Amino acid sequence: MSLLILTVGTGTAGRHSSLADGLRNTISLLQPRLFWLVPSESPDSLAIADLVREGFDSFQPWAEGVPYRAIARHDSLADCRDTVRGVIAVARRHLREGESLLLNPTSGTKQMSAGATVAALDESLGEIVFTVGDRSEGVVVTGTERIERFDASDYHAARDAGIARELAAAGNPLAAADLFSRHPALSGDAAVARCLHEWSRLNYEGARKIAAQSPDPRLIAVRGHLQTLALALRPNSEPSLLVASDLLQNAEALVACGDCETAFFHTCKALEIALRNALWQNTQLLEPFRLKDLLALTSRKELQDRYRATALADGTCRLGLRQVAELLGSLNDPLCDALFRERAFDFVSIRNELAHAIRPVSMKEAASFISLVQRLFRDRLPTCPPRPDLFTKVPVERDVPAR
């Protein structure tokens, strides 16, 4: 069952054709539960609309005492489009579950037909129908009418895909996923966008699950990497340089999208993880650190006094980023000298400001911080594979079962 909107013109007279009868035959072919007529304000167009609706119980007037929402300027494409969009909005309120709304823009001026078609595409109607048939003297012979259907789903999918890719490129893969998911043909893109969203918010396990359940080759290619990232966050695991490298990759993408504040936080996380990894490499110790282990690591009294002063009741200590660097310095790790020489803690101070005050981060500050961390750990950080993109469509050749 469907609802139907028809435009109504004045028609071209022919020996074997009648516009009113042709439109009535169109209604009989489609058998809509309800239909609306959209004539122009031309007296001839209104008169033909009166003939078309006569005897049909399914005709739906525009309002009480007002049979039609008529087009004021039938030669204005914009006016035709806006009028039909208004009728579509009202007709949608009458849709029942399982019904579709059809538009037939066959009759009327060229602007009426074009405007109605544009309106249908603007409003994402799934199907536009045209009345065709045998022709004589340039018009359809009455009684030979048949329906030519246009499935607009490919048009809508292509339009939404373009918008979604722009959203993803601007740093909003979640909004992109919502647009992609409206179209079954774009399910692979939707999965990639959802995976990128979870990945960018550092939900590695969530991203891994999406990749594991999708047959899209772009996600198959990163399943192993995402699994490694997710496993690296297990309790009591050594601080992962792969995670640090991934954080920096994510920070670069965030800066490119203008989200410098989040990029700054991710860069600081990367720095902290890399420093804790260096400490683990030197000592095999993981947080929370036992006070007695820290006291045994250094002979520097000021550090020992600080550890005793900040120790918790259970005999453990938690070290901040600067404290980890100072401990590395007491162990003669060259990273400590490099950190202070490169003024890395100036950037850490900005991170602290962000946590406690209203303070925007410039693109220069964010990019400089990322570059500094990459430079400090150039010989330590592994290379991450590129993340899947939404601009190179890879065909799915086979289904791969989820793991």
- What topology is assigned to 2-151 in CATH? Rossmann fold (3.40.50)
Cα separation values, 51 from 9, 18, 56, 59, 107, Å? 12, 11, 10, 12, 14
Residue 403: the pLDDT is 37
Q: What is the mean pLDDT of residues 269-276?
A: 96
Residue 223: the pLDDT is 97
CB-CB contact of 131 with 31 (8 Å): no
DSSP track, 103-162: EE--SS-HHHHHHHHHHHHHTT-SEEEEEE--EETTEEPTT--EEEEEE-HHHHHHHHHH
Sign of CA dihedral 68, 72, 76, 81: negative
DSSP reduced 3-state for 339:
helix
Residue 399: the pLDDT is 41
pLDDT band at 396 (very low <50, low <70, confident <90, very high): very low
Mark residue 108 as left, alpha or beta (left: phi above 0; alpha: psi -120 to 50; beta: remaining): left
pLDDT band at 166 (very low <50, low <70, confident <90, very high): very high
Residue 392: the pLDDT is 63
Query: What pLDDT digit, counting tens, does each position of 338-388 carry?
Result: 999 999 999 999 998 988 889 999 999 999 999 999 999 998 999 999 999
Q: What is the dihedral of CA 235, 241, 245, 247, to 10 degrees?
A: 30
Residue 316: the pLDDT is 94
The per-residue pLDDT of the chain, averaged, comes to 92
Picking from 272, 277, 279, the residue whose alpha carbon sits closest to that of residue 293 is 279
Q: Is 140 a residue whose pLDDT tops 90?
A: no
Q: What is the mean pLDDT of residues 126-150?
A: 86
Residue 402: the pLDDT is 42
Residue 159: the pLDDT is 94
Where do we find the tokens 């209604």? Answer: 27
Q: Are strands 289-290 and 135-136 parallel, antiparallel or unpaired?
A: unpaired
pLDDT band at 16 (very low <50, low <70, confident <90, very high): low
Residue 134: the pLDDT is 87
Half-sphere exposure of 353 (CA within 13 A, CB side): 12
Residue 393: the pLDDT is 55
Query: What pLDDT digit, counting tens, does each position of 39-69 carry?
Result: 999 999 999 999 999 999 999 999 999 999 9
Rg (C-alpha) for the chain, rounded Å, is 33
The C-alpha atoms of residue 230 and residue 207 are separated, in whole angstroms, by 9
Peptide bond into 288 cis (omega under 30): yes
Q: What is the mean pLDDT of residues 389-403?
A: 52
Query: What pLDDT digit, counting tens, does each position of 223-241 carry?
Result: 999 999 999 999 889 999 9
Kindly state the tokens that stand for 27.
């209604």
pLDDT band at 17 (very low <50, low <70, confident <90, very high): low
* Backbone phi, psi, residue 384, to 5°: -90, 145
Residue 394: the pLDDT is 46
The C-alpha atoms of residue 392 and residue 191 are separated, in whole angstroms, by 14
Residues 6+ apart with CB under 8 A from 219: 191, 192, 195, 210, 211, 388
CB-CB contact of 121 with 152 (8 Å): yes
Name the amino acid, one letter, at 326.
E
Q: What is the mean pLDDT of residues 280-297?
A: 93
The C-alpha atoms of residue 96 and residue 125 are separated, in whole angstroms, by 15
Picking from 364, 321, 354, the residue whose alpha carbon sits closest to that of residue 339 is 321
Delimit the domains of the chain by residue range.
Answer: 2-151, 152-222, 223-384
